[in-house]
Every structure is written in structure tokens, then in C-alpha cells.
Structure 1
Amino acid sequence: MTAEATLQGVQLRHFVNGIWNNDDAAGSFPIIDPSTGVEVARAPIASPQVVNQAVEAAVAAFEDWRQTTPKERAYYLLQLADKIDQATEKLALMESRNVGKPVNNAREEIPLIADLLRYYAGAARVSEGVGTAEYERGSTSLVLRQPIGVVGLITPWNYPLLEAVWKIGPALAAGNTVVLKPSEITPVTTVALAQMAESIFPPGVLNVVLGDGTTGAAIVSHPAIGMVSLTGDGGTGKKIAKSASDTLKRVHLELGGKAPVLVFNDANLDYTAEQLSLAAFANSGQDCTAASRIIVHEDVYDAFVELFLDRVSKIVVGDPADPETQIGPLVSERQLERVLGFLERATTTSARVRLGGKKLDRPGYYISLTVVTDVDQSDELVQKEVFGPVVTIQKASCDDDMLTMANDVPYGLSSSVWTTNISRTTRFMRDLNFGTVWVNGHLSTVPEMPFGGFGESGYGKELSAQSIDEYSQLKHVMITSID
């Protein structure tokens, strides 16, 4: 099996300057079907030379691309959105098989991805900023929003196509050119996206290089790249920020999370348990916004736990290709071992596994949906991101304790509040130290609103028109009148 092997009709190759390249001089990596644990393809690792070729192509393409008008860039993005719509079923099957997510979930994602591109096509044409005016007598000031140049995009394995578009959309809308590296675990739909883009964008505007950490490091350290945007874990984010400082390039980091879910004594418990059973385990819990840390008021703690356990026990775990499946396997053997390691260490504490906690006896990387109670605030399961189908439930005596427990983690990405009390809502939406606060809901994002976290969850915003600003630089121009 060569590094050029196909997965559902997609040849896993680099896409540089409009040309497909299967150079694997730096080696190759396996693509594993997580539902079986079987290797189904191999992909080449881009050497520093291939990365350099991609950057040079992006630099050359930038000279023309930066001159395009917002209307022109919008037209390109709309064409790509149309192609995604036409390939919805094919992309969903690829994503399901490569990531291990249920095919019905993958089918729901693809239209959202096309819609996101259409949003950026519109946002590219609506520039907001400081008004042109005379701030000094005799002079007129204006602000130009200009592209940065070449941006390096490094995307994760849990939502490969979605995260690629989250970054490609604003980067191209702002007038930059792109060198993108998808995760070595799940590169398939990103390569498929490049195939669609091949007939749309000028050569060099969008380049995709496959590879591992060495490829990512070559992107981050390249002096001709003006910005790096990563979605990944905190350790990788810190390394990238440190490396990028050598060339003073801009860094955009969307990292991990440990979302607190606050269930108050006035919440609709049936509705809350139903919604959270899905929000906790969606994508097998491999979501930085997963409802993984539930804090319940003591007045309703026992009733909520009983309802939640009942709902979770009815969730169907199985083959991602089966339309009845709600939760599939973890993405890799390494991720499975990581999650099991958390659970093994939890048995040495007071933690009580109420449901699941074991690898399923079947091929692939399956683990039973797990609910753990009686955890301490300082426990690893509470403080660290497990990134798997593991949920902790804690008891709190009052609103103040719930707020303290919620904020007492290093992450600050997302949170949710479940209450019918408007005063409580306004307090917690203000005092929760997280970039997103949902009220009586969890997981939803919309293109129009910014997404990003605080603290160990990184910095910079995805989505919204603000994300176009993230990929732009502002220039003040002052024109002085001379008589």
C-alpha cells in the first residue's frame, strides 16, 4: 500500500501551487478506520522542502490575491460552498469513516459548513471599523484593513472539515493566502476540499500539506508566514506560541476546554437531562465544548443523576455506518488509551463510576459511555480535559459554590447554565469566566457570533466578522491638506 493510496476515491497527496504531489521522502503515516482498527490507507509526510514550496507558492499568489475585491473573494467562496453542497453525501461518508463519528451526525455537519462559507462571502463585503474623520485640524484620518500575507493553518482531528472551513473562510475573505496542515489522523476530507478548490481558486492561494508534528513545526518556524492559527491541545499551543515568537508572527490559538454545566434547583430536569445526555457525549466526547463537568444544586442532585443515567444508558453506541448509531468509537488507539488512563487513575480516588468505564469488547476503539460521581474539585477528572465519553457530576449547596466550582479550572472556553430564573441568568452570564455561556442549551454555535476562550483555552476568536479581523492588520492613514 503506497502513500498515495485512496480512501473512498480520495488520493492522499499534498496540494501545492495547484499541483498534486505525493512526495513521501520524509515518510508516511497510516490512516486507520477507528471502527475496526484496520489500516485503510497511507499518507505522505511533507518535508520542510515541500512546506517551503507551499509557502513560496502562497507568497507568489498573494501578490495578485491581495488585489482582489471583497466581491471577487466572495464569489470564490460561494463557488466552494456550492461544490460542498453537491458533495454532501460523499463528504459525510468520508468524515464518518475517517473520524469514526456516526454518519447521520456527519450528514448534519456538511450543510453547516457550506453555510459558513456563504456567511464569510457576505462578511467579506461588509467592512466595519473606525470612521473616516478629522481627528486633527487640517488632517483626515482613515483606517485600512489589509491582509497579513501567508497564514499557516493547523487543524485538529475531531472536526476536520468543519475546522478547516472555520479557518479558511476568514483567512481567504481577508485577502490572505493559505498553507493548511490537517491532522495526520484525519486528513481525508481536507484533501477532498482541496480537490474542490482546485478548479476555483488561482494556484497557490490554497495549499494543503499532509504530515505530522514535524510538518507543523516547519510551518510555524517559516519566516515568510505572517500568522499561524491552531486548533489543538494546550501543550501544542504553547510550543507554537514559543516557536512563533522567534519570527514575531501573529498566533491564534483555539485550545482545550473543560465546560462547566450548572444545573440549578429550578431547572426543568427532564429537559435538562435529555439535552445534556447528548451534549456530553456528542462525537464520543471528543469536543472541546463537551458538557463534561456537570455541577448540580443539592436540592435536585439525586433526581437529576437518576434521570441522566437513565438517558445515557439508552444512547446507542455502535458502527458509525449504522443509521441507528448515536455514538461511535474514539478516533485512535492512542486516544482510547488516554481516556482509559484517566479512568484507571480515578479508581485510586473517591470517584465512583456509576456507568460505563470500560473498553467495549469489539474491534475498533470503543469505550462505554461513562458517568462518574463523588469526585473532588481537585481530581484530575475535574481539572483536566479527558476528550472522551466521560462525564463527572458534582454536588453544590448554593449559587456561590456553583460559581466557584465552575471557574476553578485552568480552561475558559465554554459553559452552560440551566435555570428559569432571569436574575440568576444575568449573574452567571456575567461572572462565568468562559468565552461562551449557553443558557438552557449547550454546544450550539452560529457563524454570526464569535467563538473562543480564555486562559488555557487560548486566545483569538473563530466565527463572526471579528474572525476576519483576526486575519487582518490595520493601517492608519492620515492625509494633511496643503494649501
Structure 2
Amino acid sequence: MITLANHIAGEAVGTAATSEVVDPSTGRPLALAPLSRGREVEAAVSAAAKAFGTWRTSTPAERSLALLRIAQALEDHAEEFADLECRNTGKPRRTAVADEVEPVVDQLRFFAGAARLPEGKAAGEYLGDHTSSVRREPVGVCAQLVPWNFPLMMAVWKCAPAIAAGNTVVLKPAESTPMTALRLAELAAEFLPPGVLNVVCGDRDTGRELAAHPEVDLVALTGSTRAGRELASSAGRALKRLHLELGGNSPVIVFDDVDVQAVAAAIADAAFFNAGQDCVAASRVLVHEGVYRELADALVERARGTRTGPPSDAGAYYGPLNNADQLARVSGLIERLPGHATVRTGGHRIGEQGYFFAPTVVTGVRQSDEIVQEEIFGPVITVQPFAGADEAMALANGVPQGLAGSVWTRDLATANRVAAGLDVGCAWINTHLCFTAEMPHGGCKESGYGRDLSAYALDDYTRVKHVMTAL
């Protein structure tokens, strides 16, 4: 079993306290990770604060070149990163490569380009005998807390725009999935000054200490709504800048003019991908009553044809749930289903080793049911009928979250009307779970605020300054 170390000021730094990293495919220990506390948090923040003094004055070209070199190094080590991600998360290998490592390389290259194109206003005379200009400047030290569902990708979504904008970073990966973030920091150390990118491992208390540190200027979180509330309360006392990408509960609205079999296949893929552990998973399906029974049957058939298994299983579409707590949570949602709901297929753990859960379809649910109102974050689809577009939008918006959703119809007018009416940060039409580095990702309501990806992410990691000069 390997022992991991924090990455602080360009160096590997061990800790006396450690926690076990478990392979979710087997349930057995995989590594020992640092359990960082005050001393390590203080060292990492101090390193970032020191590095900010010079990194903030680096040119966009210098920051761009560093990110391009990191992207190339990651691409050169793609197989190594895929191996680490598979071991740490249990994902199928093709998922680790095509859906995480390859997009991350592209996203790093995008932010390398965006670093050289900061948005600004033209200088001008808006008061007699005075010239005004608007500067965009880095915020400072950014504490970034990322989840376990896409460990490498979420790390890059956070640190790449922050570094591109001239900030320095202390990144805390999820307690159960630290391996690729630490390896990324090791690679990046060849191209970044010491202290620009630091990684400290630990648990929730580590994250709390990091977020509360007085030298941290901005806190970014991808995680649960519960964690976002706690962080907002803590950061509010110090008036820290926040960037929160929180839980989702994506509505998938299907009208009666679609190719039912084709749509069922697309929805099932977007629901079961990564074991449903995606904040925009297509888990909450709303179907026009005219095709409700047909689509529900098609989803059941797709679920029965979907296989879960460890990375060694080339035929598995998805791997295990990430940890024992998540397995218990998903199992609990199924066990607590009310009598009017029906588990059409799945609804149970698979095997005794690891945290595998069967592809599941539940019908007969009602809007007030826990499984509808709560984010599932597992390989589970719920199916509800609707009579018309207005009812569909009411059901779609009738949950606390507002991250993403999709509309499926051949009617362009209906598609655009419903997409405009969804209280979400991303609305797809006739597709789901598609991302590109150039477009923003984020939500509203209890799904938080701030945007990952795109040039909007750089806005979150900069502050605006007006400079006026008397002529």
C-alpha cells in the first residue's frame, strides 16, 4: 500500500496523521493519504500567499505557456493518469481516458488561450480632463474544494482558470480520491513557480480550516448543497468571495413526438454514466402521457442491458459507487420508497465486494417523494408523466435545485419555449450531458452560483478596478 504526500511549495510534504483511501471496486485499502490539519493548511496557504506576490505580475503570455506545457505533460502521461483514476474511482478505463483525461487536456489548452484574452473596457474620458480605464486583476489566494466523482476533471475546472487569471491555489481533493490531483501538481511543478499550485489532502475539517484561513481570498467548491450552505455561512462572516457549484436534480422532459427507442437509449446512457454520480445525470425523467408507458418500458429494457463492473471488465458501462456512505445513501432512497412507487428493475447492490449498484428504473413516483426532491447521485432513473408543456415545466422546476435539464421534441418552438422556462444554468435540447470548454457550466437556486469552464470562469477569479487619471 502506497503512502501519499501533500504538495506544498513545489515539494512533497508528508503528515503524521493519515487516512485510508479505499478501492471502491473491492472495498479494500488502496493507499494512505495525508490527513492535513492546522500546520499543513498554514504551510500551504502561506506558500500560495508568497507565490501570489510574483505570480500576479506575470504576463498573460507566461501564464498561458505554463498551462500549455502542463496540458502537454498530462497528455504525455495520459495512460498513467487513466490508471490512477481507474484504481482510485473504479471507473471503466475507456471512461477514464475518453471522458476525463482527454477533455481535461483540451480544457487546460482552452484556459491557456483565455489567459491572453481578458475581457476589458476601452479607456475613455467620462469626466472632463480625466481619463478612466478598467482593470481586471487576480483575486489572490484561492482555496478550492473538489469532489470525488470526477477527481482530475474537477481539479482542472477549478485550478486552470484561477491560475490563468494570475491567482495562486490551494486545492483540496476529496478524501477518497486524492491520487490524480497530487500527480497533476507534481507535473505542474516543472512549469509553475513554487506555491502557485498546492494540494493538501484531508477530510471535511481540513476543508473548513482552509476556507476559514484569513489569507484565503476566494473559496471555490464543487460539492453538495449542504456543504455549500455551511461554506457560505462561514465565508460570509469574513466576506470572502465564493464560487459554488452544488448539487443538481436534472429534469429530462420528453414530448410525444420523439423516436422513443432512440431517446430512451440516450437518456439511459446519460443517467447511468459514471454510476449516475454526476450532478447533471439524466435521472429525473418527465414524459408526456401519450408515450409514458412506451418510454418507461424502453428505459427498463435499456437498464437491464446495462452492466456494471470493475475497470477490468471491458463490457461494463459504469463502475461502483464511490464509497460505502454513498452506497448506503442510494440504497436508503430505494428502501424508503412509498407504496405508490414501483421499482421496475434493479434497486439493489450487486455482489459482496465493492460498492456496485444495479441499473434501476422507478415508476409511479410523485412530485413530493423524497427520491424526486433529492439528488440521487446513483444509477437510478425515476419516471413521471405529464399532460402538457406547462405541467412539464412546473414539475421540472418544482425541486430546490437548478443546475441543468433537457428537452426532447421535434417541435422547435416547444423546445425553445420550455428551455427558456427551465430554472437551470444549462438547458440542452435533444441531447444531455454534453460539455465544451468554451461554454459555461453552473446553476441557480440551491445549485449555487459562479461558472466553471468558458471565459465566464475567469470573471469569477478576477476583480474589477477603476483607474482614473487627471490629465
How far residue 94 of structure 1 moved from its aligned partner, in angstroms, is 1.0
Q: 357, 370, 374: which one pairs with 1:384? A: 374
SS of the residue 1:357 aligns to: coil
Whether 1:22 aligns to 2:26 is no
> What corresponds to 1:240 in structure 2?
231
How far residue 78 of structure 1 moved from its aligned partner, in angstroms, is 0.4
Tell me the distance in 2 between the aligned counterparts of 1:42 and 1:212.
Answer: 13
Whether 1:41 aligns to 2:31 is yes
Q: 313, 316, 337: which one pairs with 1:325? A: 316
> What corresponds to 1:285 in structure 2?
276
Q: 412, 423, 448: which one pairs with 2:438? A: 448
Q: Deviations over 1:446-477 (max 9, x none)?
A: 11111100000001111101100100000001
Tell me the distance in 1 between the aligned counterparts of 2:11 and 2:358.
Answer: 44
Q: Which amino acid aligns with 1:204?
A: G
Q: Which amino acid aligns with 1:439?
A: I
> What corresponds to 1:262 in structure 2?
253
Tell me the distance in 1 between the aligned counterparts of 2:64 and 2:444.
Answer: 31
How far residue 152 of structure 1 moved from its aligned partner, in angstroms, is 0.3
Instruction: Tell me, yes or no, if the aligned pair for 2:389 and 2:418 is still in contact at 8 Å.
Output: no
Matches for 1:328-407 after TM superposition, within 5 Å: 328-346=319-337, 348-407=338-397
Tell me the distance in 2 between the aligned counterparts of 1:128 and 1:197.
Answer: 26
> What corresponds to 2:116 in structure 1?
125
Tell me the distance in 2 between the aligned counterparts of 1:193 and 1:15.
Answer: 10
Q: Which amino acid aligns with 1:416?
A: S
Q: Deviations over 1:53-97 (max 9, x none)?
A: 111111111111011000000000001000110111111111112
> What corresponds to 2:401 in structure 1?
411
Matches for 1:27-426 after TM superposition, within 5 Å: 27-108=17-98, 109-346=100-337, 348-426=338-416
Tell me the distance in 1 between the aligned counterparts of 2:320 and 2:456.
Answer: 35
> What corresponds to 1:469 in structure 2?
459
How far residue 246 of structure 1 moved from its aligned partner, in angstroms, is 2.1
Q: Which amino acid aligns with 1:370?
A: T
Q: Deviations over 1:317-336 (max 9, x none)?
A: 11222222111111111110
Q: Unpaired segments of 5 or more residues in structure 1? A: none
SS of the residue 1:319 aligns to: coil
Tell me the distance in 2 between the aligned counterparts of 1:470 and 1:156.
Answer: 19
Instruction: Tell me, yes or no, if the aligned pair for 1:34 and 1:98 is still in contact at 8 Å.
Output: yes
Q: Which amino acid aligns with 2:228?
A: G
SS of the residue 1:190 aligns to: helix
Tell me the distance in 2 between the aligned counterparts of 1:278 and 1:362.
Answer: 25
SS of the residue 1:225 aligns to: coil
Tell me the distance in 1 between the aligned counterparts of 2:206 and 2:339.
Answer: 40
Q: Unpaired segments of 5 or more residues in structure 2? A: none
Aligned residues: 470
How far residue 238 of structure 1 moved from its aligned partner, in angstroms, is 0.7
Instruction: Tell me, yes or no, if the aligned pair for 2:144 and 2:171 is still in contact at 8 Å.
Output: yes
Tell me the distance in 2 between the aligned counterparts of 1:445 and 1:90.
Answer: 24
How far residue 306 of structure 1 moved from its aligned partner, in angstroms, is 1.6
How far residue 114 of structure 1 moved from its aligned partner, in angstroms, is 0.6
How far residue 361 of structure 1 moved from its aligned partner, in angstroms, is 2.4
The range that moved more, 123-132 or 432-441, is 123-132
RMSD between superposed Cα atoms in Å: 1.0
Tell me the distance in 1 between the aligned counterparts of 2:34 and 2:298.
Answer: 48
Tell me the distance in 1 between the aligned counterparts of 2:433 and 2:468.
Answer: 44
The range that moved more, 95-104 or 445-454, is 95-104
Deviating above 6 A after TM superposition, structure 1's stretches of 4 or more consecutive aligned residues are none
Q: Deviations over 1:323-350 (max 9, x none)?
A: 221111111111101110111101x331
How far residue 478 of structure 1 moved from its aligned partner, in angstroms, is 1.3
Q: Which amino acid aligns with 2:328?
A: E
SS of the residue 2:209 aligns to: helix
What is the TM-score when the length of structure 2 is the normalising length? 0.98
Tell me the distance in 1 between the aligned counterparts of 2:374 and 2:311.
Answer: 28
Instruction: Tell me, yes or no, if the aligned pair for 1:140 and 1:480 is still in contact at 8 Å.
Output: yes
Instruction: Tell me, yes or no, if the aligned pair for 1:461 and 1:467 is still in contact at 8 Å.
Output: yes
> What corresponds to 2:447 in structure 1?
457
Q: Which amino acid aligns with 2:23?
A: D
SS of the residue 2:432 aligns to: coil
Instruction: Tell me, yes or no, if the aligned pair for 1:103 and 1:322 is still in contact at 8 Å.
Output: no
> What corresponds to 2:5 in structure 1?
13
Q: Deviations over 1:298-319 (max 9, x none)?
A: 0111111122211221112112
SS of the residue 1:156 aligns to: coil
Instruction: Tell me, yes or no, if the aligned pair for 1:96 and 1:321 is still in contact at 8 Å.
Output: no
Whether 1:433 aligns to 2:436 is no
